[in-house]
Structure 1
Amino acid sequence: MTASTSPLIGGLGGRKARVLISGAEVGDEQIRQRAVRLADRLDLQGIDRVASRLDNGIHWLVLDLAVRELGGVHVPLPTFFSPEQVAHALASSGAHCVVTAGGAPAPPGSMGALGTLDGGMLAQWRTEAAAPVGLPAGTACVTYTSGTTGRPKGVCLSGDTLLTVASSLVQASSSIAPRRHLCLMPLSTLLENVAGLYATLLSDAQIALPSLAEIGYTGASGLDVPTLLRCLHRYQPESVILVPQLLLAVVMAAESGAPLPASLRYIAVGGGRVGPGLLARARALGLPVFEGYGLTECASVVCLNRPDASRDGSVGKALPHARVAVVDGELQVEGARALGYLGSEPLPDGPIRTGDLGHVDADGFVHVTGRRKNVFITAFGRNVSPEWVESELLSHPDLAQAVVWGEAQADNVAVLVPRRADLDDAALARAVAQVNAGLPDYARVSRIVRAPAPFSASAGLLTPNGRPRRDAILSHFQAEVDASYRRPAAVPSTGVSA
């Protein structure tokens, strides 16, 4: 095959230390050679559809670049996927093989070892024989959304689309041009893959790629904050991408006196609604936090606040490649788009219907207020987006997790997990009352169900990336929710809006 056909490999600019891993520096030429050799090996085997289940690090990057060089399809499998989810992803994608770290056990859905790759650092496994799976023409990546059920959905994306979004991010961040990006999210997450890896490669900056353990991840959704802080200080990044839960952890640590690296110049936050209270707390600490918005069907980022165009309460303006409109209260996006879903028809022509409610203000800033399917209507006919109320609750330092409901009720209930086990019910009610003070009366929480343990993915109450499975949580606590409405309100109301 002809070397360096991929813009990502061809664009490696000969920097002495493009990638930093556990203090070691890996230069462009070494990355390029390893990726091209690996692409040649896969080509000789006749393999062009490769699944991977790898930790963050140089091996993930080299394999991804090799598949791009090959013009093949990469199917990244999150390390937090259950065995059943891994087997489903391998079968539904039709991957020819699955690659793991050398010495790792055989992954679910594999039939036996095919050998090693990349100097023995990677293991290659044969997948179970199955009928060929057709993919939309041009598919370069199949990324799996965690969804709201146990079976993830595969989304097919082209290489050109991925690079379009990455290039747009480089353009949008040109006023900052961070020189070192630290990948804190799993590389199998599309957001970090596109905005972390690809955008950084295209901008000729350094990438720091610690393992997930070095970052502080434990299990599917656990995080050791002291380890995370040590990682930040070790790599001294100028840019990072955080989900709201990570931002809250960093803010609470800093508020408790933990020092943060002075190198940070751009903290992008996405993956869920960020309460204005949390953003205000972050900025009070001097953190350069900017909220964004995107979705898998649009190849990740669609909108982003940046230093030269930022507005509190918004997710920023659309990136150069994207256009956002509002139809019947729902955000619709044109620009980069997925080719389709595995096992389904291609996406229909026209803009992507996001399912998110919101508006675009007169200056072009996009505001997201919630998910259409989650909106409930109170007994007084008020529409409430629970994500809005939940984000306000989670901005309080005493509240760790929350799900709000009030369909056809005169007031609303929240299933809550306190941040500290020693927080008594009276203190929990005071925390909710403090949040209520900043909410209109129809959105306030009057009743509380205290969860005996944190919501977890293993219990089926969180998606693998930490989002609440709303229906599962409400079903699990249905008896307690019903009982709360037979008791006096736990949090006194200041009035009801008719």
Structure 2
Amino acid sequence: MREYSVPVLVDVPASANLTDTVFQRAEQEPGAIALRRKVGKDWIAVTAREFRDQVAAVAKGLVAAGIEAGDRVALMSRTRYEWTVADYAILAAGAVSVPIYETSSADQVKWIISDSGAKAVFVELESHEETVREVLPELGELKHVWCIEGGALEELAADGAEVSDETLTGRRTGRGVADLATIVYTSGTTGLPKGCRLTHDNLLFTARNVANGPLERLFTVHDRSVLLFLPLAHVFARIIQVVLIETGTVLGHTPNMKNVAPDLQAFKPSFLLGVPRVFEKVYNGAEQKAAAGGKAKIFHAAADAAIAWSKAESSGGAGLGLKLKHALFDRLVYGKLREATGGNLSAAICGGSALGERLGHFFRGVGIEIVEGWGLTETSAPSTVNLPGANKIGTVGKPFPGVTVGIGEDGEILVKGRHIFDGYWNNDKATAEAVDADGWFHTGDIGEIDADGYVRITGRKKEILVTAAGKNVAPAPMEDRIRAHPLVSQAMVVGDDRPFVAAIVTLDPEALEQWKASNGRASATLAELSADPLILAEVQKAVDDANKTVSKAEQIKKFAVLDIDITEESGHLTPTLKVKRNLVMRDFAKHIDDLYS
């Protein structure tokens, strides 16, 4: 088996826990800005001492409410300042936080709270509280429902006023690296979500080795800051939160993932994190804006120059002609794109799925280097990550310090390290299936390791399609290429046990508005557009582009454009925008069957 290891860079002492930095920094740098909190339209600085004091006050309230060390406390909220306060307060009280996506249904909430045995739950909005109370009679262990918008944090702080500092210190320092910190439920593309047990060691070991290793450059820049907009219920945003707290990077929050531009311009982050769809939206939005202003040719020439410049940088540097062209477009196009993100952004971290080489090169050419990483909830988020300045676009980077990656005989990527989870909550059978006797975690992803240790993901083991002719097809790379088209929202490749490969495609409602205005279809409905010859021709271009990347036997022969979009709200996407393939196959079975009729 081919393996690649990177030695441990930072050890974590046995007595450490996630709250140490919060409390120690408040004493060492009380006036340092730890976070910035949005109040109305203004961003208000929160010092290290103020943040510690709020965490401590809420933690004392939890102790006063009867929360014991090791008890589970659920947290259902959008990404916001209070999420971070509540999370660290739960940990400071010696308890275990259990995040729940704020979009979760009543059945999902019931499952996570009942399976984890949570004794209390923080909810953000009254609507979240109603969801919990709908299933409350079936949640025998749940004793408290605290609503953030209803003033719960302030009430808990008041209720805990009589709890002594000594009591809280005992609770907080009584937890060490081996203790459970959180149970993060997988986003569940199939079946019921499984609870991943992550210890203080899992998260601290990961955060400190990533921040002092491959991503060190991001945390040494002047005025470093990050605006989080991905859901903190997901392990990707969660580990970044830990990294930011550990490194003293200024943290801001916004729940507005779909329209984050105004907050980016006001907050002016030095770097951010996102999933591929976010960066696709940025590119497509810029392209559409240019087209609307009659500058489509200029934008496409600028995009080509950015991609060429980035590729040249990977192979010895650009020639004089390309440098001059790049400098011209920097004034005309690239600078405006950077300004739209606040003007300070020079790098971003991308995870969740493959970004694609085209976008990776485009953004690096623009001056925003996107470094891709890869991992799962079971690996505390990252197992590999690219290095700013040594970013091999098209890969997900090298193992971070303390991690070993191997490739099994069937091509599956296997991982070892202290970042590997402690097992599935209440599910020893699944744990035994995921981690073998030699300590390798079986990720389910298919990939390869190059001579320099960079990992490339080529597919998902369970998603590999096998056509009726016996041809193995990895759908994800083709889906990524189709989804890169401005008019496409989602694409799903099908063909398991079928005579050929096909695809179903949905259209992006936002992009369609601009397209309708430019093509004399202002009153057209989505149903009409899904059958419009001009739209079908555009989708065909995207399919043709995807087909260039595979052999003839793997190419998409037919496609169908749905007359609705598949979204998180429709139940077909996870909160991190992964397609729930089994549900799409079920709900659109007739459309798929029609492709083969």
Q: C-alpha deviations, 1:193-250, integer Å up to 9, x for none?
A: 112x11011111111123x1xx2x4xxxxx2xxx311111111101111011111111
Question: Which runs of structure 2 are paired with 1:231-242 in the superposition (5 Å)?
Answer: 231-242=263-274
Supply the distance in 2 between the matched residues of 1:37 and 1:121 (Cα, whole angstroms): 7
Question: Which runs of structure 2 are paired with 1:91-490 in the superposition (5 Å)?
Answer: 91-101=114-124, 105-106=129-130, 107-108=132-133, 109-110=135-136, 117-120=152-155, 138-149=179-190, 151-171=192-212, 172-177=214-219, 178=221, 179-195=224-240, 197-210=241-254, 212=255, 215=256, 217=257, 223=258, 227-255=259-287, 256-257=289-290, 259=337, 260=340, 261-328=342-409, 329-335=411-417, 336-345=419-428, 346-347=431-432, 348=435, 349=437, 350-419=439-508, 420=512, 421=526, 422=529, 424-486=535-597
Supply the distance in 2 between the matched residues of 1:403 and 1:101 (Cα, whole angstroms): 34
- Are the counterparts in 1 of residues 227 and 267 from structure 2 also a CA contact under 8 Å? yes
- Are the counterparts in 1 of residues 482 and 545 from structure 2 also a CA contact under 8 Å? no
Q: Please state if 1:10 is matched with 2:10.
A: no
- Are the counterparts in 2 of residues 238 and 263 from structure 1 also a CA contact under 8 Å? yes
Q: C-alpha deviations, 1:42-94, integer Å up to 9, x for none?
A: 22333042111123222111111122222221111111111211111111111
Q: C-alpha deviations, 1:278-315, integer Å up to 9, x for none?
A: 32333343321111101011111111112233212110
- Are the counterparts in 2 of residues 242 and 267 from structure 1 also a CA contact under 8 Å? yes
Paired letter, 1:393: I
- Structure 2 SS opposite 1:120: helix
**Identical aligned pairs, as a percentage?**
27
Which moved further from structure 2: 358-367 or 377-386? 377-386
Aligned to 1:56: 79
Q: CA RMSD in A?
A: 2.6
- Are the counterparts in 1 of residues 547 and 556 from structure 2 also a CA contact under 8 Å? yes
Aligned to 1:129: none
- Are the counterparts in 2 of residues 264 and 288 from structure 1 also a CA contact under 8 Å? no
Supply the distance in 2 between the matched residues of 1:43 and 1:55 (Cα, whole angstroms): 25
- Structure 2 SS opposite 1:143: strand
- Structure 1 pair 387/431, CA: closer, same or farther in 2 (3 Å)? closer
- Structure 2 SS opposite 1:18: strand
Paired letter, 1:417: T
Structure 1 residue 102 displacement after superposition: 7.8
- Structure 1 pair 479/101, CA: closer, same or farther in 2 (3 Å)? closer
Paired letter, 1:436: N
Supply the distance in 2 between the matched residues of 1:157 and 1:118 (Cα, whole angstroms): 25
Structure having the higher helix fraction is 2
Q: C-alpha deviations, 1:462-490, integer Å up to 9, x for none?
A: 2233211112212333333232234xxxx
Supply the distance in 1 between the matched residues of 2:95 and 2:477 (Cα, whole angstroms): 41
- Are the counterparts in 2 of residues 275 and 394 from structure 1 also a CA contact under 8 Å? no
Which moved further from structure 2: 4-13 or 282-291? 4-13
Supply the distance in 2 between the matched residues of 1:87 and 1:173 (Cα, whole angstroms): 38
Structure 1 residue 117 displacement after superposition: 4.5
- Structure 1 SS opposite 2:155: coil
- Structure 2 SS opposite 1:10: helix
Structure 1 residue ranges without an equivalent (≥5): 125-136, 218-222, 487-498
Which moved further from structure 2: 435-444 or 181-190? 435-444
Supply the distance in 2 between the matched residues of 1:15 and 1:143 (Cα, whole angstroms): 33
- Structure 1 pair 407/84, CA: closer, same or farther in 2 (3 Å)? closer
TM-score, normalization by structure 2: 0.72
- Are the counterparts in 1 of residues 62 and 156 from structure 2 also a CA contact under 8 Å? no
Structure 1 residue 354 displacement after superposition: 0.2
* Higher Rg of the two aligned structures: 2
Supply the distance in 1 between the matched residues of 2:345 and 2:554 (Cα, whole angstroms): 36
Structure having the higher strand fraction is 1
Supply the distance in 1 between the matched residues of 2:571 and 2:79 (Cα, whole angstroms): 25
